[in-house]
Amino acid sequence: MGATYYRAESESGDHIEDPSEDALFMLIDDLNDSDNTFVVIQPDEDDPVWFTSVAALDEGGYEVVRRDTTRHEHDVATETSINHIARDLTIWMAARDFPGRPTQHTSNF
């Protein structure tokens, strides 16, 4: 089993190491406005430089926060599509830096 790069954890205590897009969808789909209102995804380290969170809104939909201090990014958006949130966060997290992760190479083939 490989290293854990990040972890998703919901208010209810559900957690997943290195969640896939499908796993993020399931965690977000389980959110409600009473006892499981948010999920936080961040690196599995003591002082993470980035995080993202999704919170269920009372009026419906979700608030999505993305913060990366190394890139001076801080974005807050409201979204209604769980599919869109899970896909967008998966892409965003793939672009983050993780110490010890192999360098990704691109090719012009």
pLDDT at residue 3 tops 90: no
Q: pLDDT value at position 44?
A: 84
Which pTM value belongs to this model?
0.84
Give 18-76 pLDDT, tens digit per residue.
999 999 999 999 999 889 999 999 998 888 999 999 999 999 999 999 999 999 999 99
User: Domain segments of the chain: what residues?
Assistant: 6-94
Q: pLDDT value at position 107?
A: 52
- Give backbone dihedrals phi and psi of 52, rounded to 5 degrees, phi first: -140, 150
